[in-house]
Every structure is written in C-alpha cells, then in structure tokens.
Structure 1
C-alpha cells in the first residue's frame, strides 16, 4: 500500500478511538527509530508524548526486538497454566524491583485490564465493595476501569456500577483557597478525604485507587505529605491502597515507579505501557505478600487467555533489563532537569501559560485565557471552538507530535531523549505558544 491507500482503507474500515470519524487524517508511518518516525513523503516527526506515554525506550530498540524473535523461535504461546521461561523470569524480575512488601504479580494485557483485576482482587481480599477514586483521573475505558475513571470519558458508561465513589485531587493550582504551603494544602485535602471515608462507612470500603501522579488530566503532582497521609488513612481504616502506575511506572518520573518519589509502599500496584514500551501488549497487577498468601487457599477469580503471554513477557524482561543496563533513570533525571527549567521559562514568557508541572520526563503545560483569573483556555469537558485541536495542529505542522487533554498540552518524550533533542523540540513548542498568545486569548 502507498500512503493514500493506507489512509483511505483505515478511514473506510477502522474505528479510531476517542474521535469523530468523519474528518480523521491519520499519518501513514513508513519507518521509525529512536524518538522519531517518518511518513511516506520522508517527513520526520518527533514523538513528544512517547505515543500514548508508553514507548519509554522509543522505536527500534534492538534488545527488545531480539528477545521477541528468540521467543518466536521457541514458541509463541502457551496458556497461563503452563510454565513459560519468559513468564517466570519477568514475574521474578518485577517483584525484585518492587518494594519488599510485594509478593506476586498477575499479568494482564493492558492498563485497563490491570485496574479491572486490581478492583476484583481488592474486593475478594477485603470482602468489602466500595472503591474510591478521583474525579481528575483516567484508569481505562472498559466497564470496571471506566467506572474508576473520574473525568468525562466515564460518561458513556453511566449510569455506572454501584459502589464507585469519587473524591477530589489535591489540585492546588485550581483550588480557590490560598494555601500558605504544600503541607497546609495536604492537611486540608486529607481532612476532606477522611470525612468522606467516614460518611461512606469505612467497613464498606475495599480500596482507594490513585494514579500516583495524575496523568493525562494534568500531571498533577501530590503536595508534600499527601500520599503518606493517604497511606495512613488506609492503614487506620483497613482500606487497601492501590497505586495506578500505568503511566508513571518504569522510569517515567526518574524512579522505577512513581510512588518511590513519596516514600510509600502500596498494597497493590497496577502497571502496563512502559513494561514493554508497546512492542507487545502487557500489563499487570502486583499484590503484597499478605494478599498473595490469602490466595494460597482462596480462589483467585481472575483469568485471561493471554495472561503472561510468552512473547509479551520476553519483551518485558528485555525492556526492564534495558532500563537498568542503559542507566535510563539517570538520563531521565538529567534531561528532566532541563525540561523543568525550560518549562519554567515558557511559563514566565507566555500569557497563555497558567502553570507548568513536571517530574522526570512527565510534564503538562496548562493553558489559560487569563493568568490572574486562571480561566482555562477551553471550558472543562468541552472545546466548542476546537481551540485545543487548532493548537495541536500548529504543533503537528512543526512535526512536534503529542496530544492534549482538556486545557493541557502533554510533554512526555521517550526516556532516551537527549538534552539537544529536547531543546530542539521545546523551541517548537515555544514558537507555537507565541501564536497562542496572539490568537486564542
């Protein structure tokens, strides 16, 4: 197929997620390497969102590709009840890089499935039914994970499943209260969460599920003491703490997992994306030793045909080993420092930039109409004039490829990006924001 044949065939036969289908214009990709991909006309694009914040190691990683090929030559598939070397080795490796309270991993195919099964495990283990999650959150779009999700992508699932309770993020930038410090904000948010737990009945709450750092909904980083405070509430009321590490896991924040930045040990961790960087689909649920021991004598009512798929596990093992052998975390910390410095400069320079938030190579630029009032450049849950789409189009013209959500531009490049590459791409973002300042506010 040539480029036009690929595009026209996709538009005729394929439904694309989160889109009105009529005016779609997918870029046919001919080749890719590192942080770049090329269309059939030879144009080079920079992947500044790691596709869907999953291709942490970029395109064309030979170690992962070779591991997949080696497994193909052995066998491509055996069911979850059989022994596969790649499955065994990856399970062991994951527990080794987790905190010392963790016991076993249940493999899934993606982040949504990981969160689905985490909910089931929490309910089975505790015998309780309610699950707390936050309004500004995305945990997947299948029925269970979609009910966990708090933002507008949950609406298509409503009326939803009973027992899913929402609470608010510690979103200090948008809070009408002027806090004197992060610690003061933490105290306020924890008091409100504690009150809600009491009102819902602690004896009915199985788990509190949090994206360790809120992802697509704005890279909202919890204030000092917040996550340890949630951990303390969970301990007090015998509620499981589940950290959704689908985006923040596997080096994105400069530590192997996002929760390591905050000195906590969850009871359950969900992951996907960066465990294989998209080379083969894989996700998982890691449970504490205490939870793992419970299922020694109680039925684990979770099952997937492709749980621990041998090809995916081979890719995952190569990927996790590569993080360590190539010192990826060091690069994230080093280049992430530059990202933070440049974003702060962009915030000062541009009238349309209300806030920037960043940790490691995970960041968001929040766009506003007015810095003083903090009015978002588009209303929450709506973009009637297509402003964010137009801004995204201007970035695309400059071959800076990412995605937007609400009034946020996400900047989350592959973890292999160099300082020089980052500087080159942020100059494009800076240029587009000049236009935003003039045309959209």
Structure 2
C-alpha cells in the first residue's frame, strides 16, 4: 500500500529506499550490528501508529520503534511544544533554574508515590540507571549491585554490566555487579509448577545470593519492574513485594527500572503501580516523552535526596534537563492525561490484545503468550512439548514476511514482542494481530 498524502515522502522527495539506505550504510555505524550485512529500513515519516518508508509504503508500527513511542508518532501537541521552546530558549546549562524543566519534574513527581520530591534528569535510560547506581552506593556506603540475568539496563559502563544478557559479556569493565535468576515460569530455573512456587523459589534464590555475597556489601537490587527486552516477563504475584521485603531486611535499596515499562506501556503510569511495591529510586526514559527528544531521569525518594542536602552529588551531564526535552515531557504527559492514553493502553490490553493473542495459541508454533497493557510477548517454539525455541533463521523469515504484509515488528530471539503505541486503536490492534496470525500460519 502506498500513500499519496502531502506528508508522504513520495510527494516531496526524489530519494528512494535504496538511495537512503546506501547513504546510511556508507556513513553511519549502527549499534549492536555487524556492519557489513546491514539492510536498514529507511523510514521517512509517521503519524500515530503508522510509519512509512521513503518509497511511500506504510507499516503498522508494532514495535513503537524501541518500545518508546507510547504517545504515537508526530503527536501535534508534543511537536508544537518542542517548536515553541526552541523559539524561546533552545538550551540552558543545568546549573541554571528553568521553568520548563521544573514543570517537567513536577509532572513526573505527580505520578510517583508519596515520599518522592526530586528528579535528576539524564540523557536517556542507560545513564538514568548509571546515576541511580551511583546514588545508591553513595547513600549506603556499599558497592555491590544485584540484578537479574534476564535484564537490560543500558549501554553505559555500569548499566551494561548490570545487564544480564549477552551484551554484558564483551563489556565487563565495571566492578561490583552480581546477577541472580528472576522468575520466568515458562522456562523456570526452579522446577516450579505454579506462579506461587516460582515466586517463592525465586525469592529464596535471591535471598541466598544476598547472603552469600554478604548483605553488608550490597548497595542495591536493580530490577526492571517487568523485564522488557528479556521477554516481557510479568512477575508472579508476590515476587516484587518479596524483593522489597528482602531489601528492607538487609538495609539494601530497591531501584526499579521503568525505562521501558513506564508511562502507559503497561496500562499504568508506572508499571509498579499494579504491584504491592514501593522502590527507593525509579529510573525512567522512553515513554515519558515518547523519545521525541533524548531524555531520561531518576526519581529520588526523600531520604536519598536529603542525603545530598549538605553533600555534593558527584555527577552531572551537560544536557541534564535540556529545555527541549523538558518541553516534550510537559506536552507528552499533559496530552496523555487529557486524552486518556494510559486508560486506552490498559483497555486495549485487556479487551483486544489479550484475547486476540491468546487465540494464536491454536497454532503449535506458539509456546506462550504473556503481557499486559500494550506490552506483550509471543514465544515461538519448534516443539511445543519440549519448548524448543524457534531458530534464528526461521525468525528471520518470519520478520521478513511481517514487513511484506505491512507490519513493523519487534523481534527478539524466538519471540515477537507486541508493543504498539499506547494510542493504538481497536481496529489497528486487531489488524496487527491478524497479520501476525497470517505470518505464523505461513511458517
């Protein structure tokens, strides 16, 4: 399908997919990639849940790019706010006070639990986690940080070592990081047969790691509230509350990484709102402004914030609380509130995505469906009884087929993550799942 609207690149440019892709490959070094075999899809524009390439072909964006365009592409109020701020004051050093930055912090804090009154702004999620780790170490006087093996926390020095997946291994230069297995009932490390068993045994394992490492050496436990890239692993009932109890028992801080899960992705402002848990530090990025301008941050509980009232916090960034980013946060959170975006994500998840994705289980290739809000994963297997992950070559063909059918997917290992913008409509959600269904059948 092509578009001939005035916003289509076909109407305004002589560039083609091939020419843009070649120009990109010849000069841009891409992340997490072997450069020689790249074939990047050139995107030229987008609106809501739809994007189009340079040749004018449209795609339903079921990736939200990197699971961050929660408010959809080119939301007019967010775009206008960035333009207005650029006309007024494009940049300001973080040492100065700025009204837009203050308003952005206020709106973030409005959605945090009681007992949080400061936000430290960063350039993205990785350095949000980096600075949260630094705060925890300085506050406790301890060094170690425990995180899950199935996790991703970013690609800066400490955040990548806190990460549990393969990306940590070539980058292990930071010290003081320890990993434990979190709950994942479908592939349980604990021989569990129920969510309750999985939570109980995962908590026992975590506490034993704390004890074996020496609780007096551990500054923080850093967890994604719902691990995202690792497979959208919704924690079983009682797990996060149990982690909080462990941290309280041993004087350890709890950092919840809400970079991917926060700001409407799960149908909540913060994903932990659906669980019986209150962290000490909250990290965020992505959905807070849908990635329109790079930004992230740490929401700091009062005891930690006050710790630095008379002590210098030894950290900062040139672009901390950049006014263009702050303006995009103000506009995005205001629009989300006014337009019921969080409520929409929750309803779409419960009423549309949950039943539609569950119906995919009639196909033997589907091992498990899990998720909440607009945050879902479909795990694909070659043998359902043995739960054998579908191989990379087959997943590659699956991705190619989805693109040919007009769906932009998020593929990770043997899974498709169903993560459309939180503004996705019922019709778009049903259409996207129908495309996935057709492509699965074609395999």
TM-score range, shorter chain: over 0.9
Further displaced range: 304-313 or 9-18: 9-18
Matched, 1:256 2:263: no
Matched, 1:414 2:428: no
Partner of 1:236, secondary structure, is helix
Q: Is the 8 A contact 1:139 1:149 kept in 2?
A: yes
Of 231, 239, 248, which residue of structure 2 is paired with 1:226?
Answer: 239
Per-residue CA deviation, residues 121-154 of structure 1 (Å, 9 max, x unaligned), is: 1101110000000001001112111001000111
Alignment correspondent of 1:60? 74
Alignment correspondent of 1:389? 396
Further displaced range: 329-338 or 76-85: 329-338
- Cα offset, 1:65, TM superposition: 0.8
Structure 1 segment 288-437 matched on structure 2, within 5 A: 288-337=301-350, 338-347=352-361, 349-378=362-391, 383=392, 386-436=393-443
Distance 1:38 1:188 in 2: 47
Alignment correspondent of 1:184? 197
- Cα offset, 1:177, TM superposition: 5.1
Per-residue CA deviation, residues 378-418 of structure 1 (Å, 9 max, x unaligned), is: 3xxxx4xx332222111111121122112111110001111
Distance 2:275 2:157 in 1: 30
Q: Is the 8 A contact 2:123 2:295 kept in 1?
A: yes
- The TM-score with structure 1 as length reference comes to 0.95
Alignment correspondent of 1:142? 156
Alignment correspondent of 2:131? 117
Structure 1 segment 62-211 matched on structure 2, within 5 A: 62-158=76-172, 160-175=173-188, 179-211=192-224
Partner of 2:311, secondary structure, is coil
Partner of 2:85, secondary structure, is helix
Q: Is the 8 A contact 1:217 1:406 kept in 2?
A: no
Structure 1 segment 14-33 matched on structure 2, within 5 A: 14-33=28-47
Distance 1:258 1:195 in 2: 27
CA 1:68–1:250 in structure 2 vs 1: closer, same or farther (change >3 Å)? same
Of 225, 236, 249, which residue of structure 2 is paired with 1:212?
Answer: 225
Per-residue CA deviation, residues 282-339 of structure 1 (Å, 9 max, x unaligned), is: 1001110010000101111111000000010000011111111101122112111110
Which ranges of 4 or more aligned residues in structure 1 deviate by more than 4 Å? none
Matched, 1:274 2:274: no
Distance 1:157 1:390 in 2: 30
Give me the CA root mean square deviation.
1.2
Further displaced range: 336-345 or 224-233: 336-345
Matched, 1:286 2:299: yes
- Cα offset, 1:25, TM superposition: 1.9
- Cα offset, 1:251, TM superposition: 0.8
- Cα offset, 1:184, TM superposition: 2.3
Q: Is the 8 A contact 2:190 2:201 kept in 1?
A: no
Distance 1:5 1:433 in 2: 32
CA 1:358–1:76 in structure 2 vs 1: closer, same or farther (change >3 Å)? same
Q: Is the 8 A contact 2:181 2:189 kept in 1?
A: no
Distance 1:65 1:121 in 2: 33
- The TM-score with structure 2 as length reference comes to 0.94
Q: Is the 8 A contact 1:133 1:209 kept in 2?
A: yes
Structure 2: segments with no counterpart, 5+ residues? 1-13
- Cα offset, 1:46, TM superposition: 0.9
Partner of 2:59, secondary structure, is strand
CA 1:178–1:196 in structure 2 vs 1: closer, same or farther (change >3 Å)? closer
Distance 1:247 1:148 in 2: 16
Q: Is the 8 A contact 1:103 1:290 kept in 2?
A: no
CA 1:176–1:317 in structure 2 vs 1: closer, same or farther (change >3 Å)? closer
Matched, 1:34 2:41: no
CA 1:176–1:308 in structure 2 vs 1: closer, same or farther (change >3 Å)? closer
- Cα offset, 1:178, TM superposition: 5.1
- Cα offset, 1:30, TM superposition: 2.7
Q: Is the 8 A contact 2:109 2:119 kept in 1?
A: yes
Q: Is the 8 A contact 1:364 1:410 kept in 2?
A: yes
